[in-house]
Every structure is written in C-alpha cells, then in structure tokens.
A and B are shown apart, each in its own frame.
Chain A
Amino acid sequence: MSEYLLRVKDLHVEFTTRNGRVRAVRGVSLALSPGATLGIVGESGSGKSVTAYAITKLLDRAGRITGGSIEFGDSDLVSASYEEMRRLRGPAISMIFQNARGALNPIRTIGQQLVDALSAHRRLSKEKQQERVLDLLAAVMLKDPERILRSYPHQLSGGMCQRAMIALAIACEPQLLIADEPTTGLDVTTQKTVMDLVARLATERKMGVILITHDLGLAARYCQNIAVMQEGVVVETAPATQLFGSPQHPYTRRLVAASPTAHSTLDDLGVDAESDGVPSCRKTLQSPRTSAARPLLTAKDLTKDFSGFRAVDSVSFDIAPGESVGLVGESGSGKSTISRIISRLIDKSQGSVVFDGHDIGDIPASDFHGSEFRRQIQIVFQDPHESLNPRYTAFDCIAHPLRRLDRLIGKRETKRRVEECAERVEFDCALLTRFPHQLSGGQKARVGIARAIATNPRLLILDEPTAALDVSVQAVVLKLLDRLRREEGLSFFFVSHDLNVVRMLCERIIVMASGRVVEEASSLELFRAPQTAYTRELLEAIPSFDPRRMREIG
C-alpha cells in the first residue's frame, strides 16, 4: 500500500478532432494523500477538467489516455477494464459536477436516483435503502428530506441540486471525491455552504478531495495543496500559502495578479503591485459627478409582479451622469428584473423610470425600440457566447444597432463607424469578418461591448458582463470598461453577484434581497462598514485570498 491515495505520473491525454489530434494533457503528475485536499486551478482550456475525467476514465469518445500512469491505491487505472472502473466509480472514486441541475437525470426523482446509486454497488433491503437515502439527505443538510425525495431536479434550486449531487457522490462512501467546478453559477453564499459542506464531509469521512476550479480564492480557502495548470501542463505545485504568497512561475504570478481580491483595484489587476491596506474603491472624486447635477436616471418605487409573485418591491435609486452604480444580490433577489426594467426590455407594474427628465417608464417595452432613448440606453449581456447572433460576423453584430437605431445606410459610413467602435474596444479590425465561434471569449466580450457603445449611449447596463470569462480576460475587460467610462463619460449600471468586481468598477453599490433594497452606500463605506447582517454575510462569503497575509504565513 503506497502512502498516497492517488498518484498520477506523467499523464498524457489526446483528443482526436476534425483538425487533427489535440494534446490536451501533456505530462501531468499529481499526488494526493488520503484525506487531503488538492486544488487544480487554471483557465479554460488548461486541461484541468480533462485530467479529472482521465482519472475517472470518463473522457469523451474522442479522448484517449496516451501515456503515463494513474495509481489509485494498489491498482493502475490506466489499464483497468470498463467493468473494473465501473466497480470503482461510486465506492472508491466519485465526482461532483458543474451545473448540478444538468448533471441530474431530469425525469427521475432525487430519491430514485439515490436508490440507483446505492443499488449499483450494494444489495440492501427496501427499508435499509430508504433509511440510507434519508441519512444521505440529512448529511448534505437538505431540509424536508421527504419532499426532496419525491422532487425532480427542475423543482429544486441550483444549490439544492448541488447538495443532491453531493449526496449521490458520497452514497457509497468513496475514498476520493473529485469536484469539477462544483459552485460555478451558484451565489456566493450558496457557494460557501456547498463548499463548507464538502470540506466537512471530507474531514468526517476522511475522503481525499480534488477541487478543480478557475477561482483562485476558492482554492486558497479550501485546499492545502494547489497545482496550477496551463496548456496541459502543471506549471507549479505548492502548498496554498506558499503559492499565493510567493508564486514562482510567471503564469501563476499573472493569474494571482489578475484575480480580484478584497483589496485589489483595477490598476492592480494584471500587474504586480502592493496595495495600500485600505480596501480601495473607485474614488468618488474620480467621477465627474456633482451633487447638483440632475440625475441621468431616476427609478422611483419600482414594483414588478409576475402572476402574483412580487419580484421587485418599491425600489428607488438614482444614477448620476458619469456615475457607476453597482447592483448586487443573490439569484432571485430581483436584480435582473430591475436591470431589465431599466433597460426597458420588460414593463414595470408600478413606479416610474425617469431618464434625463423624460418619463420612459410608460413607454411599453415592446415599443421602446422605436423610442429615441433606445440609442441612449444600451446593454451588455451576460454571456458573450450566447448573446451574439451565430450567423452574424463581428462586423454585422456591431453594425446592427447602427443600421437599426442610427438609420445608417451608406456602406462606407457604416464601415467607418464599425471600425471606430472596434478601435474603441481595442478589437482587431482584421477580425471583423469572423463569426462568433471563430473568436475567443475575450474577443466576443469586446464585440458585445462595441455593439452596446456603437450608438454612443449615455447609460450602459452591464448584466454580469464578465461572469463567463476567465480571470485574466475578466481583468482586461474590466479595465477596458473603466477606461471607456472615464473617456466617454458613460454612466454604468452594473449588475453582478461578484462583489469584488462591483467594488472595483462602481462608486456606489446597491444591495438587494428578495426584491427590496437592503443597503445602499458608497463602495468604500459598504466594504469598510457594512450596515446590515445580509451585506456582512455576502461579504464574508466571498472566497478570496490575501496575498500579503499569505506572504507573512508562507
């Protein structure tokens, strides 16, 4: 018996694609002691998930392990047969996945799926099974287990689905749990409960855990050792404190620098710089805002009902010209509804929206595209991959609002304006003829922003514009947005669940919960002295690392 629970040596994985072979993992070596927690961090395409799937041999049909060994206990998984692997999956190694709702069978109840997982490896009587299933649901702290058993995944929230997924994964008491981005898409507070739960279960049951994530803060908080992957290679492995305190490899340094922390400013992102101890925020004096100026937008007593359910309950706020206001809250808090009402994509139930002295709240959302104000209020959507028309080239995407809203007809003039927009967002004009699928995530984000600023709007509504991007790309996009705002005097209404990002970009933050404003303060104040328990809870839930403290400890 080796001292390690899992030992991966010089692992190579290849994918056969239409464009030939891709070497996704090139010589990865990892080791995990029983009961330890190892983080694998890296950006998309770094091969971190592929490594995990190779360990459990759940690679796609196109993927193949071409070299190396995976020692689990005394056996080598690389040479294990399908049936041998099947018997290991569940009682020895199991996984939890990103997007738990999609990872559960939509037409089987949670109870049935738990029974499936149990009975695949154990023969238990009906009563024993039922007892065990209820125990599992209690272990993952799901309230009202009887109801959960009878529920289908679509009837549960994302956090509940992830807990059900964890219950499935630990059903047969594995020695190794691999968590593949288990909290992506969940709220910070839910993320904290889920990760705390995994950590607690791991300690209680002495499970080894591999946490795969792109979030350095999360890895820092929950892992003892961290392996940083880039382009299929582990570039650095070190204990967490050491890795964040004094990163050795240039890529690790870049990654650490690009991750927003509780103290970073936009200027810090991507460069190695000391921060000054006080959480820095956009200083109010940086904005051209004057208290005497008429607000650009005033929302008063906004209320929205969805067939009996009150999503937004009398919310009021102002946005001054050139000001950047952040709106944060968990999913279901009504922040997206507010942003859609302000963008005039949906109609309010009550209240008023005054833009530049004109009441635009009474123009029906279905007619707003014909209003002169459509050009002045533009939106950058959440997912740059999904929000671009796949049949439009980058050029057409940017030209679309110009043609529709600015009634631009001349070919030469359109080309000039589109290229000008591309330059404003630092998008290479040579790429304008490409389709979205031929662009990288960051390039697509730029096209989305260029499209939004094409008509020279005065208010830009940003609905989680960087949520789907890698940290290093996010840093660049955030900087770009900040520069645009200062250079063009735009007002921002920034909707996000990532408080660190909001803090860096916004002067003022509005916190929402269950349709109401819980707290509103300048970013500086909010972070320094949160007034409500809810805000404190939100702030505490942000997983982050503190490079200075790490340095002291490390």
Chain B
Amino acid sequence: MRAVITIAHHTARRFLASIPALLGVLVFTFLMMRVLPGDPAVFFASDPNAGPEEIEQMRKTLGLDRPLPVQMAYYFRDIATGNLGRSMTTGQPVVTDLAERLPASLELTVTALVLALSLALPLGVLAALYPGTLLDHAVRFVCSLGVCVPTFVSGLVLIYVFYVILGIAPDPTGRLGAFDAPPPGITGLLLVDFLIVGDFESWRSALSQLILPASTMALFVLAPLARMTRASMLAVLGSDFIRTAHSLGLSRRKVIITYGLRNALLPVITITGVVFSTMLGANVLVEKVFAWPGVGSYALDALLASDYAPVQGFVLLMASVFVLVNLTVDTLYGIADPRVTIE
C-alpha cells in the first residue's frame, strides 16, 4: 500500500515536471503559426470579394492586430478552453476532427505494438538462449528484413498476397467493412465499442480490417524490440545472479523467465515507449496505404492543403502523447525495478 502511494506521489511529481516541456511545445506551435506563410484573416474573411476594410475588421475580431505577447495569451486561453481552431478542409473544429481520428490511430498502433511485442519477446529470448546458432541467425534475418523494407512496400506486398492472390483479407479501405454500420461512438476504438454493444459479427470484420495494417507496422518495429530483448537478455543471462539461481538448483523455466526475462525487460520497457511514440506519429504511410482514417494522414492532408490549424493541433497532440507515454514508461519502470526512484 505504501509503495502504491509512493509511486502515485512520484507520478504526480513527474507530471508536474513535464508541464514546462508542454508549455515549450505550445510556444513553438504558436511561433510556427506566425512563421508559416498565409494570412488567417484573409482565409477567415467569409466573402471571397472582401475588401481591405472587411479583412481589417476580421483581423480585429481574430485579435491579430494586437502585439505578439497578447496574441500568445489569447492562444493559450484558446488552448486552455479546448479550442484548437477550425480546419478549412473538413470545416469542423480541429478538436472534433482529432477526437474522431485519434482512436483510429491508437487502435492501430496499440494492436501493432502488442503484435510486435508478442513476437519480439519470444524471438529475442530464443536468440539469446542460443546465440550464434541457426535460430539466432534466422531471428536476425527476419528483423533485418522487417526494418529494411519500407512500410509502404511491405504493406502493398501484404495486400497483394492476402487480398489479391489469396483473397483472405478484406479490401484495404479503412476501419469498417463495406457492409458494417459504425458502432455508437463510446470510446472510438471499434474493437472495444463493438464488444460493448455485443456485435460480434462486426467485431470480427473490424478485426480483419485491422490485421493487415497492424502487421505491416509490427514488422517494421519488430527489429528494435527483438534486438533489444536479445541484447538485454544476453547481458542478464551472463550476470552473477543467474549463476546463483543455477547454483541453487532452480528450474530452468524459473531461471529464464523469473530471473532472466524480468530483469531483461527493464531496458525493453524504455524502447517500447520510444517505439510507441514514433509509431503513432510516423504511421502516415501505413494509414495512406490502407486508407486508414488516422491522425497522421489527417495532418498530412492538411499540410498539403496549406490548412495550418490541424497541423498545429497535430503537433500539440503528439507532444502531449509523447509526454504521457514517457510518464507511463517511467512509472512502469519504477514499478518493475525497485532500485529506481522516479524523480
């Protein structure tokens, strides 16, 4: 109980400590908006034939005639009230768009990560148990393949094999099968929502939509996770306390899992955090290939259309996610390793 309180205490402290970093991101996105070309007043002036007075008027309403610090204060106030501006391509508030698309990205990333971990951990452990053998080389080969083939290539190959040739996979057109109605938006995560509603038919169909893009991403991040597990596991297996465990006659399973893997997981936790953040932001290519309605492709489309509010929102969202993920990783690390005190 006391340990739980300590961890909660440390976590709260860590969260407070990450606020400056978030403020820095806010200032950065604000300055980015000033530096990028384009005059929001012209965009927002309703009438295409608006005269200079009307644009001036709009500038006043938007507060663009004020000095920069005042504008920054307005910007902060907007963000504090959850107003990230309006996307011109979708015509909706950016917050609404992001709230709609973030679950799609999260669902894809988390599934891919779980898939990658459930492959990478056993592979890494096996490679570490039999270093230099055929098995070790095979694992190394799979990892190299995963990391050197770009996701859009591996994605297309998977589509070609499983959809075009074998015809097992559904057509790669987003999260929902063609004949499924979207569930009521409870969490936004389709797999969770369909389960809550109890619509198992649609759940299966959503899952089959998810498998190919998730596999594509999992393949890509398999390498860092498996290699890290192997290296860490090798180091741990060579350490003194493993020798002690053997000298006490503990079972092989106990030595490898409880004494070996649990210690080896510590660095893997850190890498997993980094991999997760990277995946969430960098899976644009996978989202594009599979027409997945995620935040990455949303931001890319907005950027191409010179629609800056969504891009800003995206940067802010990613920064927050990054902070949160790091916080989670540190907390997990603190729980997993009693020697670490989270400061």
Contact = CB atoms under 8 A, between A and B. Distances in A.
Interface in A51-70: 56, 58
Contacts of B239: 102
A120 interface: yes
Given A120-B250, A154-B339, A107 B244 contact: no
A120 B241 contact: no
A436 interface: no
Given A102-B241, A105-B244, 9 more contacts: A91-B249, A94-B247, A94-B248, A99-B240, A103-B243, A107-B262, A165-B244, A172-B248, A172-B249
A424 B37 CA distance: 71
Interface in A131-169: 152, 154, 165, 168-169
Given A87-B249, A120-B250, A120-B251, A104 B338 contact: no
Contacts of B199: none
Given A120-B249, A168-B248, A105 B243 contact: no
B263 interface: yes
A97 B244 contact: yes
B245 interface: yes
A103 B244 contact: yes
Interface string B242-271: 011111111110100011001100100000
Q: How large is the interface on A (under 10, 10 to 19, 20 to 34, 35 or more residues)?
A: 20 to 34
A56 B251 contact: no
Contact of A89 (B249, B262, B338): B249
B337 interface: yes
A452 B240 CA distance: 34
Interface of A: 56, 58, 82, 86-91, 94-95, 97, 99, 102-108, 116-117, 120-121, 152, 154, 165, 168-169, 171-172
B68 interface: no
B243 A120 contact: no
A172 B246 CA distance: 14
Interface string B216-255: 0000000000000000000000011101111111111010
B336 interface: yes
Interface in B320-335: none
9 contacts: A58-B243, A89-B249, A90-B247, A103-B240, A105-B259, A117-B250, A120-B248, A169-B247, A169-B248
Given A99-B240, A102-B241, A116-B254, A107 B246 contact: no
A9 B3 CA distance: 53
B336 A107 contact: yes
Interface in B288-340: 336-339
Contacts of A120: 248-251, 254
Given A58-B246, A116-B258, A152-B338, A106 B241 contact: yes
Contacts of B254: 116, 120
Given A58-B246, A106-B241, A86 B262 contact: no
Contact of B250 (A88, A107, A116, A154): A116
Contacts of B251: 86, 120
A162 to B, nearest CB: 12
Nearest to B132: A61
A82 B244 CA distance: 16
B247 A56 contact: yes
B241 A103 contact: yes
A58 B249 contact: no
Contacts of B243: 58, 97, 103
Nearest to B241: A105
Contacts of B258: 108, 116
Contacts of A172: 248-249
A381 B84 CA distance: 59
A104 B249 contact: no
Nearest to A109: B338
A107 B338 contact: yes
Nearest to A102: B240
A171 B336 CA distance: 27
A99 B245 CA distance: 15
A108 B240 CA distance: 14
A307 to B, nearest CB: 13
Nearest to A56: B247
A95 B246 CA distance: 10
A419 B209 CA distance: 73
Contacts of A99: 240
Contacts of A87: 249
A171 B248 contact: yes
B249 A106 contact: no
B240 A88 contact: no
Contacts of B259: 105, 108
A165 B252 CA distance: 20
Contacts of B248: 89-90, 94, 116-117, 120, 168-169, 171-172
A104 B259 CA distance: 10
B246 A104 contact: no
Contacts of B245: 105, 116
Given A152-B338, A154-B339, A105 B249 contact: no
A169 B246 CA distance: 11
Contacts of B252: 82, 86
A107 B337 contact: yes
B244 A104 contact: yes
Contacts of A97: 240, 243-244, 247
A105 B247 contact: no
Most chain A CB within a 10 A radius of its CB, from B243, B244, B254, B338: B244
A168 B258 CA distance: 17
B127 to A, nearest CB: 14
A94 B245 CA distance: 10
Nearest to A118: B248
A529 to B, nearest CB: 43
Contacts of A56: 247
A87 B248 CA distance: 9
Contacts of B244: 95, 97, 103-105, 165, 168
Most chain A CB within a 10 A radius of its CB, from B247, B252, B336, B338: B247
A88 B245 CA distance: 13
Contacts of B338: 106-107, 152, 154
Contacts of A104: 241, 244
A121 B241 contact: no
A64 to B, nearest CB: 16
Nearest to B263: A107
Nearest to B239: A102
A94 B243 CA distance: 11
Nearest to B337: A107
A94 B252 CA distance: 17
